[in-house]
Amino acid sequence: MAKASYNEARMTPVATHNQSVRQAHVSVQPSVPLYSYVDYFGTTVTAFDIQDLHTILEVEARSTVESRAAILERPINWGQIRDERLVDTYSEYLGATARTQLSHEALANAAAWPGQLDLHECARAVGDFVRTRVQYVPGATTVSSTAEEAWSRGEGVCQDITHITIGLLRTLGIPARYVSGYLYPSSDSDIGDVVAGQSHAWVEYFSGVWTGWDPTNGVGETENHIIVGRGRDYDDVAPLKGIYQGPSSSSLGVSVEMSRIV
Amino acid sequence: MCSVALMGMIFEDDSSGAWNEMFEAPGKPRPIYERLFAEIDRFDPAELLQRSDQLSHTFLDRGVTFAHSGEERPFPLDLMPRLLGAIEWDLLERGISQRVRALEAFLGDVYGAGQVFEDGVIPKSVVTTSSHFCRAAHSIEPPNGVRITVAGIDLVRDEIGKFRILEDNVRIPSGVSYVIENRRAMTQTFSALFSNHRVHPVDSYPARLLAALRLAAPYGIGDPVVVVLSPGVYNAAYFEHVLLARMMGIELVEGRDLVCRSNHVFMRMTNGERPVHVIYRRVDDDWLDPLQFRPDSVIGVAGLVNAARAGNVALANALGNGVADDKLVYTYVPDFIRFYLGEEPLIENVETFRLEDPDVLGEVLQSLDAYVLKPVDGSGGKGIVIGPQADEQTLTSVRDAIIMSPRNWIAQRPVALSTHPTLVDEQVSPRHVDLRPFAVSGGQGVWVLPGGLTRVALGAGELVVNSSRGGGSKDTWVLNDQLVAPRGPATDVGQPPRNAGVIPRQNDEYTDQEAEQ
């Protein structure tokens, strides 16, 4: 039970070249005034506070998004990616954060890749490598785990696999950022069928343009990937963060429901 | 060279090689000090010592203290005032105002359009790697456009008498309470000295600050409620928070006294709640809002950042100003002055080396003992290594720290800070001093408090003057002598005019009215 709580939700899909947002609505129970702004990373934030005693906080984000698969652009070369001006512009996506920092052991294999591969091939190779070394095991880690913890454990969820992949790409000098979003599980469902989707995380790396890669599934950014926001790591795009006064008894549940409408 | 006997006291020779603020040669005071020197000479030494005691008692009685190494201590006030002539002050005033205007433009740009990066004036990575760069401050527009309501710009005078900027403090600079209290104590204890000097008063500071804070109010608020937000009694500068709140006649609050609701801020009072429009906050960014920054902060106010973003409350100083205090960013400030203002800097920086350049780094590492090494985000003199005075072990550990992260260090040419005769152990000895003038802005130009805080390092040869390092202070007098034409040609600050401080008139009484402009 909370006496007062202050919260920020990052659940509204962002408009991109391949994704247009037809409608987006966030609602909160108990009902309170909502304030929305766009943060440093371009993510729409819904902020609100609840002053009355409340035992349940429900945040519902409902959006209608038109999306299409990204077309892979020809990558710039290794010389260009190391251009001084480019490195400066994207420096926030080249440095390690506490979440993406990796040990030397994890990095040992990475050094060999840039030689033979172009940027796209390299990003895939890194993602594939991480997927072979870190098993996707739901519940193996927590929302606050670091890349290093998941790496040592050899298990993790999409958030961890993404953090590790980002850590490796940055070490190779490829700007990489964390994408928070939703994944529509299958393109085969009928129009109007409500299916269980999931909160998902993947990577965007810079190859002349920002290019998506989903290392957990070994695929690019398809029309099933709905982008909410990007940041240096999970902490910049956490779907819900908040603080409250009261005994610590909170349990958090998330469900994602998706349906095709065309 | 011999020591000078004055008032039966010995003025110890200044062999530091530094610029002596008072004497141009042993026994020969600079013109601006002649009157003071003669005046003090009339005192009996025993009486002078007694007055010095009296000064420290005044401070203890009024509770003017500073927490030093966890211990509450009086901040010692030296009885020898530091004097600045009108012509020299004029240049300092313009130079500080220029600096603050450039930093203001830079902060607006950093948290807005980022033109300074587009034009390659400063690498973006320098800003984004600064520990005080605050992404939560992005696109928060202060209603009056002012992010730096209060600035404290630290100056030192080098060996040839030229003032230089040592560092910028545009987060929550402290020390102005000592300026006010020093003057109060000096006028009580040495009223005779003031009767023959026309000294710019400093007591208008609280009114100036309050006016600037009121100008920061959200749109449409005609009669804003302004408060001082303090971390509480355990803060080293708590005395100052109390003093300023009292002198401005506004509430002193702590985090638990404020509450945000739907982006409006209220103050809890015994008889209910009252809206708050402007917060002069003396709480660091990191602790200000547990929703945005440290969730464990109990001295902040949850929701405050979004209340400011929504434009319902103004924070002074603004969020994220610390990026301008970063000592690597400091090295670019002269370029900001050219870029944003189209002017040449009136006061130069101390010569500083950026260690991210491998060639420069190599050179500095080769002779570490020839530089002053500073962590870029330190304050209060913390972590500074004075190469020429450091032992082998200190140099080795600073070398490791620099190699580990060159971004987090700068190297500076050692400046022998100017010295000023100072009463230490019943003797007058040269001690190194700096100067922190305070600038206040409400969006209608920058006002600089005449003088500022002269801090003095009480150990012989000690170069770090911060109060948090156990230093003392001096009352700083800006002489209102512009009516007097200097006998020599007016020159720039590099060569202080020899005669600028001479005041031929004998019986002018010091009053607030005549000096206040």
Indicate the burial class of A56 (C-beta count within 10 angstroms; 0-12, 13-18, 19 or more): exposed
**Which 8-state DSSP code applies to residue B389?**
G
Question: Shortest CA distance to B305 belongs to which of B142, B110, B107, B112?
Answer: B142
- A112-116, B126-130, B374-378, B453-457: the lowest-pLDDT one: A112-116
pLDDT category at B490 given cuts 50, 70, 90 is very low
Interval B330-354 mean pLDDT: 98
Mean pLDDT of the residues in chain A: 92
> Helix or strand or coil: residue B482?
coil
pLDDT of residue B191: 87
Q: Output the CA–CA distances (angstroms, integers) from residue B295 to B169, B280, B299, B301, in the order listed.
A: 26, 22, 11, 11
Assess B124–A contact: CB distance below 8 Å, yes or no: yes
- B100-114, B157-171, B465-479: the lowest-pLDDT one: B465-479
Closest-CA distance, A247 to chain B, in angstroms, reads 15
pLDDT of residue B40: 82
Among B139, B290, B303, the residue with its CB nearest the CB of A49 is B303
Closest residue in B to A96 (Cα–Cα): B129
Listing DSSP states for B324-385 in one string gives: HH-HHHHTTHHHHIIIII----SSEEPPEEETTSHHHHHHHHHTGGGSEEEETT--TTTT-E
Query: What does residue B131 show for φ and ψ, rounded to 5 degrees?
Result: -70, -15
| Interface touch A39/B125, C-beta < 8 Å | no
Interval B371-376 mean pLDDT: 96
Residues A248 and A197 in one domain: no
Residues A23 and A96 in one domain: no
> Within 10 A of B261 (CB to CB), how many other CB atoms are there?
16
| Interface touch B306/A92, C-beta < 8 Å | no
Indicate the burial class of B328 (C-beta count within 10 angstroms; 0-12, 13-18, 19 or more): buried
Residues A204 and A184 in one domain: yes
B129 neighbourhood in chain A, CB within 8 Å: 91, 95
pLDDT of residue A191: 83
Closest residue in B to A47 (Cα–Cα): B306
- A57-91: per-residue pLDDT in tens? 999 999 999 999 989 999 999 999 999 999 999 99
Question: Shortest CA distance to A183 belongs to which of A164, A159, A205?
Answer: A159
Interval A210-215 mean pLDDT: 97
- Residue ranges of chain B assigned to CATH 3.40.50.11290: 89-170+200-341
Q: Is residue A230 part of a domain?
A: yes
Closest-CA distance, A223 to chain B, in angstroms, reads 31
Q: Is residue A132 part of a domain?
A: yes
Spatial separation of the C-alpha atoms in residues B337 and B164, rounded to whole Å: 15
Structural domains in chain A (count): 2
Among A35, A95, A243, the residue with its CB nearest the CB of B263 is A35
Domain residue limits at A252: 4-68+239-258
Query: Chain A to chain B, count of Cβ pairs less than 8 Å apart?
Result: 55
pLDDT category at B98 given cuts 50, 70, 90 is very high
Closest-CA distance, B31 to chain A, in angstroms, reads 52
pLDDT category at A246 given cuts 50, 70, 90 is confident
Residues A230 and A182 in one domain: yes
Assess B306–A contact: CB distance below 8 Å, yes or no: yes
Listing DSSP states for B242-256 in one string gives: HHHHHHHT-EEE-GG
Q: Is residue A100 part of a domain?
A: yes
B125 neighbourhood in chain A, CB within 8 Å: 87-88, 91-92
Residues A166 and A59 in one domain: no
Residues A64 and A117 in one domain: no
A242 neighbourhood in chain B, CB within 8 Å: 291
Residues A148 and A176 in one domain: yes
**Chain B interface test: which of A3, A7, A32, A37 (most B C-beta within 10 Å):** A37
Residues with Cβ within 8 Å of residue B200, at least 6 apart in sequence: B450, B451, B477, B478, B479, B480, B515
Residues A38 and A89 in one domain: no
- A17-64: per-residue pLDDT in tens? 999 999 999 999 999 999 999 999 999 999 999 998 888 899 999 999
Mean pLDDT of the residues in chain B: 88
> Within 10 A of B397 (CB to CB), how many other CB atoms are there?
12
pLDDT of residue A247: 75
Instruction: Name A48's bridge partners.
Output: A7
8 Å CB contact between B364 and B353:
yes
Q: Is residue A25 part of a domain?
A: yes
pLDDT of residue B507: 35
A32 neighbourhood in chain B, CB within 8 Å: 262
**Both tokens assigned to B328:** 């690597």
Q: Is residue A73 part of a domain?
A: no
- Residue ranges of chain B assigned to CATH 3.30.1490.270: 352-412
Indicate the burial class of A195 (C-beta count within 10 angstroms; 0-12, 13-18, 19 or more): middle
Interval B409-437 mean pLDDT: 92
pLDDT of residue A192: 83
- B438-482: per-residue pLDDT in tens? 999 999 999 999 999 999 988 888 877 765 566 789 999 999 874
Instruction: Name B430's bridge partners.
Output: B421
Alpha helices in B77-220, H assignment, sequence order: 86-110, 115-118, 124-128, 176-189, 191-195, 205-215
Percent of chain B with pLDDT over 90: 70
Residues A204 and A174 in one domain: yes
Residues A20 and A46 in one domain: yes
Assess B138–A contact: CB distance below 8 Å, yes or no: yes
- How large is the greatest C-alpha to C-alpha distance in chain A, in angstroms? 61
pLDDT category at B13 given cuts 50, 70, 90 is confident
List own/partner pairs for B116-125 with CB under 8 A and 24 or more apart: B116/B336, B116/B339, B117/A89, B119/B339, B121/B332, B121/B335, B121/B336, B121/B339, B122/B329, B122/B332, B122/B335, B122/B336, B123/A88, B123/A91, B124/A88, B124/A89, B124/A91, B125/A87, B125/A88, B125/A91, B125/A92
pLDDT of residue B67: 59
B294 neighbourhood in chain A, CB within 8 Å: none
Q: Output the CA–CA distances (angstroms, integers) from residue B438 to B154, B235, B433, B454, in the order listed.
A: 9, 20, 16, 11
CATH number of A9's domain = 2.60.40.2250
Residues A191 and A248 in one domain: no
pLDDT of residue B342: 98
- B171-189: per-residue pLDDT in tens? 999 999 999 999 999 998 8
pLDDT category at A259 given cuts 50, 70, 90 is confident
CATH number of A114's domain = 3.10.620.30
Instruction: Name B147's bridge partners.
Output: none
pLDDT of A223 above 60: yes
Question: Shortest CA distance to A125 belongs to which of A46, A43, A203, A234?
Answer: A203
Residues A88 and A191 in one domain: yes
Residue range B89-170+200-341 forms a domain whose CATH class is alpha beta
pLDDT of residue B498: 39
- A104-113, B59-68, B231-240, B401-410: the lowest-pLDDT one: B59-68
**Both tokens assigned to B442:** 């409400």
Residue range B352-412 forms a domain whose CATH class is alpha beta
| Interface touch A91/B124, C-beta < 8 Å | yes
pLDDT of residue B14: 77
| Interface touch B302/A38, C-beta < 8 Å | no
What is the pairing mode between strands B409-412 and B419-424? unpaired
Q: Is residue A92 part of a domain?
A: yes
Closest-CA distance, B231 to chain A, in angstroms, reads 20
Indicate the burial class of A69 (C-beta count within 10 angstroms; 0-12, 13-18, 19 or more): middle
Among B124, B261, B295, the residue with its CB nearest the CB of A49 is B261
pLDDT of B257 above 60: yes
Spatial separation of the C-alpha atoms in residues A19 and A16, rounded to whole Å: 5
| Interface touch A35/B135, C-beta < 8 Å | no
pLDDT of B394 above 60: yes
pLDDT of residue B68: 55
pTM of the model: 0.91
- A227-231, B496-500, B505-509: the lowest-pLDDT one: B505-509
B112 neighbourhood in chain A, CB within 8 Å: none
8 Å CB contact between A123 and A129:
no
Assess B295–A contact: CB distance below 8 Å, yes or no: yes
| Interface touch B124/A89, C-beta < 8 Å | yes
Percent of chain B with pLDDT over 70: 88
pLDDT of residue A2: 80
**SS3 assignment for chain A:** CECEEEEEECCCCCCECCEEEEEEEEEEECCCCCEEEECCCCCEEEEEEECCCECCCEEEEEEEEEECCCCCCCCCCHHHHCCHHHHHHCHHHCCCCCCCCCCHHHHCCHHHHHHCCCHHHHHHHHHHHHHHHCEECCCCCCCCCCHHHHHHHCEECHHHHHHHHHHHHHHCCCCEEEEEEEECCCCCCCCCCCEEEEEEEEEEEECCCEEEEECCCCEECCCCEEEEEEECCHHHCCCEEEEEECCCCCCCCCCEEECCCC
Question: Shortest CA distance to B315 belongs to which of B487, B504, B171?
Answer: B171
